Structure 1
Amino acid sequence: MKKNKQTMISIIALAALFSSCSKESVTGVIGSKPTASFTTEQVNNAINTYLSTSTTAGAFNWQWQNESDPKVNGVDSFRTYYAEAGDYRVKLLALTNGGYDTTSQVIHVAQDDSTVFIPGFDSSIMYLTDPDYNVLFAKKKIQWKVADNTLETIKIDASASYQAMDGFGFTLTGGSAQLLMKMDATTRQNVLQLLFATTGNNIGISYLRVSIGASDLNDHAFTYDDLSTGAIDASLSKFNLGPDSSTIVPLLKEILAINPNIPILGSPWSAPAWMKDNNSLKAGSLKNDYMDTYANYFVKYIQTMKNLGINIAAITPQNEPMNGNNNPSMVMTSDQQASFVKVLGAKFKANSITSKIIVWDHNADDAAYPIAILNDANAAQFVDGSAFHLYAGNISALSDVHNQFPNKNLYFTEQWVGAPSNLKGDLGWHVENLIIGAPRNWSKNVLEWNLASDPNLMPHTDGGCSNCLGALTVNGNSYTINTSYYIIAAASKFVRPGSVRVSSNMISGVPNVAFKTPDNHIVSIYLNNTGDKKAFNIQYNGKTMQYVLNSGAVATFVWKQ
């Protein structure tokens, strides 16, 4: 039997005496691998129990040994066989209370001498995204096994804990909401279930960011109090949610019906033009004379949304405050933001508003900006923490801020995927730096950028992002799933709000992060960032499992503590 580029794996099957013969078969296709038809047959005394295969391509030779095989944990172990690498679906038959009980499993056969396990009595689950094999957030099952090897070991220690997580998600841009609201109600509800529910294959998005007024991914720039040139509305009597009343608001209500507790972060791209020194929604800065009025604008926004049944859990004073090139945009220096936070915090306190104030909301190359605000005690008293993007800098900047201000929180609030996207490359970079890197550097959340775009990467403002790829591409009532969906899914489905990051060591080629969930599960996420497959061990509570992860693949393991 040839062993070149083939793997020996073992299946533990239950066997017992019975008086009849039975067959079951199931066919499956995973990625580009050939279709394989697997049939199990069990006959008298289980002596000739075997698994046979036929394929449309490739050489497969699957063979059971007889009853002389040794027992594993008291269960007859029928060992196999060699096969090409790939994912295959098999149906095992076991005698239960005098009759057949069938279970269908997907097994992954790795190349060369890798070991893969079929679940037995002490099983865990794993979700895998493996771009090279077109495995896209697919559920697998694994079984702990003592690994007797010299491979590097990732040791998970739940007794050493760090920050609690608030969630993983996206920015629900005005353009995203516009596209989703154009779907018919049934289709939209199915899409929202896929995104926000946790049952079945749904991914459980658990944190949202929205723009206060337009972002650059609206079809035009606007705020909630736009006036004709030269007009002023100091009392904010003309404040209204404008286009968001028919897009963002109803969509948020549908999302809240699925997840009533999802945190929502609000961020403005610009103050109303009449409050700014250039009378424009692009660039310019807030006039000092309008700090009080602009603080009231935030108060009015939060109160208006609350009256509509939507709680704004937190705000940032300004999206990307050092970027005046976007449309809309507004420049706000650290001194200006510190001054504004003092006014805003006092307004929140006077109006019994509990929404968190989170500063910065820009790149990791300038940790000095939030540090300057946090060094101002009069401003810092109102500040919950700092938010970051990673279009420049290193994710370790979050730890730099944490080390100076350990009592202030860290957040990761935006990162785009550029069209057309390379799934393997983008998945790897975002998982390593954000899903793994941000929590390991104290972030309480991870947000990708826009939730949805159309096939032409619209809508966006004139001068807004023209190649920002949504998690979904929405075209009328149809949609396709894109890279950032799989990035967030790797964490959001199982690392639920309130999960606590726990200790796990780093090894070469496999960045990782681990969490303990509120329902006492351990969730750990792994990426193979090397150019070849990588074998390694995972150790927890004295149990060690060997696993092989293909190049660029991301695995999320879940087991009961």
Structure 2
Amino acid sequence: SFLRLSIGASDLSEGCFSYDDMPEGQSDFDLADFDLEAGDIEVIPLLQDILSINPDIKIIATAWSAPTWMKTNRSYIGGKLRPDCYAVYAAYLVKYLQAMREKGITLHAITPQNEPLNQKNEPSMIMEALEQADFIKNHLGPALQEADLDEVELFCWDHNCDVKEYPLAVFADDDARRYLSGSAWHLYGGDISVLSEMHQAYPEMKLYFTEQWVGSDGEFGGDLLWHVKNVLIGSLNNWSRIVLEWNLASDPFCGPHTPSGEARCVGALTLGEGISRNVAYYVIAHASKFVRPGSMRIYSDKHASLPNVAFLTPAGHIVLIALNNGATPLAFAIQCNGKNAFATLPARTVATYVWKAA
């Protein structure tokens, strides 16, 4: 029910590109050379196919870097957005949203920068908290409103749980916060409980968990258990409204990726001679098949030996996702509306239980 796109290239593109690349030493402040079909030309037809199957699917888009002519180092790796390019970069993002709409693709949300404190990825761009607040309140937010795109939700941060000070600083700026719907999160650092701290500080701000990748050097069982516990159950129990794994698909060699991009990212699917379903596929499937959009998280007892999360769905079902992370089988009771059910989870197992609410 939810997809994440890169605006221009991500590190899982074949090479770096933007929608307005210019020869060395040249700029395009009028965006006259903007071209939505630069780079990954397969993405738009694929999205159109997806939307023909499920027109209600929501899409969030994230920029890994501005075009290099807008950056202090004129490189796709690191560097910052030049102060004199704040306005044109906002116009660039607006033009992207408008061009996508012309292709029949309406985006639900954007974040202006993926991992704004990561300067090593390819592509990447540094954007400090006060810089992001400035960009949002003085440029991107007003540009979205002026273009009648203010229904596109805008999220700050889009990075790890170990630097909560960053989104807190952005939210502390009242003029920036009024354009924001919330903050986006990854879990390559810190603890997922930080999301609850953010909710307590700004309960009106949404929390989206937007990225966690599975490495080819991992082990299926261990990775599945860690992701279910921390990413799926963890983020949902800490007020996240969505859970996204990264990435949707890769080839048998974890490609494509940029030369210095992440070379170990296993897609939810591996596409080769056939299709292989991997860790991320099963993490998401445990929720997405049963916890449909509009579901509400409801109370369930918290047990260290049995991480779990429960929902009431629009169809009137209760869904319980439970994890036995231990080395022995675990028997437990499910109590709901005066009735009991008994279950046993084998060691190192996740299960989804579904029953009618009444």
Identity %: 50
Task: Give the Å deviation of 1:291.
Answer: 0.5
Q: Which residue of 1 aligns with 2:23?
A: 228
Counterpart of 2:352 in structure 1 is 556
Instruction: Tell me whether 1:347 sits opposite 2:174 in the alignment.
Output: no
**Which residue identity is paired with 1:374?**
F
Q: What amino acid does structure 1 have at the position aligned with 2:181?
A: D
Name the SS of the counterpart of 1:379 in structure 2.
helix
Q: Map of 1:5-44 to 2, 5 A cutoff?
A: none
With the length of structure 1 as denominator, give the TM-score of the two structures: 0.63
Classify the secondary structure of the residue corresponding to 2:185.
Answer: strand
1:207 and 2:2 aligned: yes
* Structure with max Cα Rg: 1
Residue correspondences, number: 355
Mapped contact 2:313–2:319 kept (Cα < 8 A): yes
2:172 corresponds in structure 1 to: 375
Query: What is the letter of the counterpart of residue 527 of structure 1?
Result: L
> Residue 148 of structure 2 aligns to which amino acid in structure 1?
S
- Name the SS for the 1:439 alignment partner: helix
**377-386 or 252-261, which moves further after superposition?**
252-261
Counterpart check, 1:475 vs 2:241: no
Aligned: 1:268 with 2:100 = no
1:361-372 to 2 correspondences below 5 Å:
361-372=158-169
Deviation at 1:560, TM superposition (A): 1.5
1:355-385 per-residue CA deviation (whole Å, 9 max, x = no partner) reads 1110000000001100000010000000100
SS in 2 for 1:344: helix
1:335 aligns with 2:130: yes
State how far apart, in whole Å, the 2-side matches of 1:405 and 1:542 are: 36
Q: What letter corresponds to residue 106 of structure 2 in structure 1? A: N
Q: Which residue of 2 aligns with 1:64?
A: none
Give the distance between the partners of 2:19 and 2:298, measured in 1 at CA. Answer: 42
Q: For residue 484 of structure 1, what is the aligned residue in structure 2?
A: 280
1:443 and 2:249 aligned: no
Q: Secondary structure at the match of 1:473?
A: strand
CA drift at 1:274: 0.3
Aligned partner of residue 449 in structure 1, secondary structure: coil
Deviation at 1:242, TM superposition (A): 3.0
Q: Structure 1 residues 320, 264: CA separation in 2 closer, same or farther (over 3 Å shift)? A: same
Task: Pick one of 511, 530, 537 that aligns with 2:333.
Answer: 537
Q: Who is 1:410 aligned against?
A: 207
Find the aligned partners of 2:214 and 2:349 in 1 and give their Cα distance. Answer: 18
Q: Distance in 2 between matches of 1:310 and 1:438?
A: 28
| Cα distance per residue 1:213-261 (max 9 Å; x no partner) | 0000011000110000111100101111234563110101111111111
Q: Which has the higher helix share?
A: 2
Residue in structure 2 matched with residue 102 of structure 1 by the alignment = none
Letter matched to residue 393 of structure 1 = G
1:22 match? none
Q: In the aligned structure 1, how far is the partner of 2:57 from the partner of 2:40?
A: 20
Q: 1:263 to 1:316 in 2, by over 3 A?
A: same
1:430 maps onto 2:216 in alignment = no
Cα distance in 2 for partners of 1:444, 1:508 equals 23
Q: Contact 1:421/1:483 (CA < 8 Å) preserved in 2?
A: no
Aligned counterparts of 1:327 and 1:386: Cα–Cα separation in 2? 23
Q: Match for residue 253 of structure 1?
A: 48
Partner deviation per Cα, 1:288-314 (whole Å, 9 max, x = no partner): 111000000011000000111001110
Q: Which residue of 2 aligns with 1:322?
A: 117
**1:173 match:** none
3-state SS of 1:238 partner: coil
Question: In 1, Cα distance between the equivalents of 2:38 and 2:278?
Answer: 27
Q: Does residue 283 of structure 1 match 2:283?
A: no
**Which whole-Å CA distance do the structure 1 matches of 2:121 and 2:303 have between them?**
40
**Aligned positions of 1:27-106 closer than 5 A:** none
1:408 aligned partner, one-letter code: M
Instruction: Tell me the TM-score normalised to structure 2 length.
Output: 0.98
Distance 1:483 1:244 in 2: 28
* Match among 96, 99, 108 for residue 313 of structure 1: 108
Contact conserved, 1:335 with 1:373, CA < 8 A, in 2?
Answer: yes
Check conservation: 2:18, 2:39, Cα contact below 8 A: no
Alignment of 1:297 with 2:101, yes or no, is: no
CA distance in 1, matches of 2:195, 2:44: 32
The CA distance in 2 between the partners of 1:244 and 1:262, in whole Å, is 24
Q: Distance in 2 between matches of 1:281 and 1:224?
A: 13
Amino acid at match of 2:147: N
Q: Indicate which of 159, 167, 191 corresponds to 1:394.
A: 191
Q: Structure 1: where are the runs of 5+ without partners?
A: 1-205
Q: Letter of the aligned partner of 1:270 in structure 2?
A: S
The answer as to 2:36 corresponding to 1:241 is: yes
SS in 2 for 1:274: helix
Residue in 1 that maps onto 2:300: 504
What are structure 2's unaligned runs of at least 5 residues? Answer: none
1:383 match: secondary structure: coil
AA in 2 matched with 1:529: N
Q: Superposition pairs for residues 116-131 of structure 1, below 5 Å?
A: none
* Contact 2:19–2:38 (8 Å) recurs in 1: no
Tell me, in whole angstroms, the C-alpha distance in 1 between the residues paired with 2:340 and 2:310: 15
Report the AA paired with residue 347 of structure 2: S
Q: Does the residue aligned with 2:244 lie in a helix, a strand or coil?
A: strand
1 or 2 for the larger relative contact order (CA 8 Å, sep ≥6)? 1
Greater mean deviation of Cα atoms: 236-245 or 344-353: 236-245
Give the Å deviation of 1:389: 0.2
Aligned equivalents of 1:296, 1:237: Cα separation in 2:
12
AA of the residue aligned to 1:379: A
Q: Distance in 2 between matches of 1:530 and 1:349?
A: 51
Q: Give 1:438 shift.
A: 0.3
- CA distance in structure 2 between the aligned counterparts of 1:504 and 1:249, rounded to whole angstroms: 41
In structure 1, what is the equivalent of residue 249 of structure 2?
Answer: 452
User: In structure 2, what is the Cα distance between the partners aligned to 1:499 and 1:255?
Assistant: 23
- Mean CA deviation greater in 428-437 or 244-253: 244-253
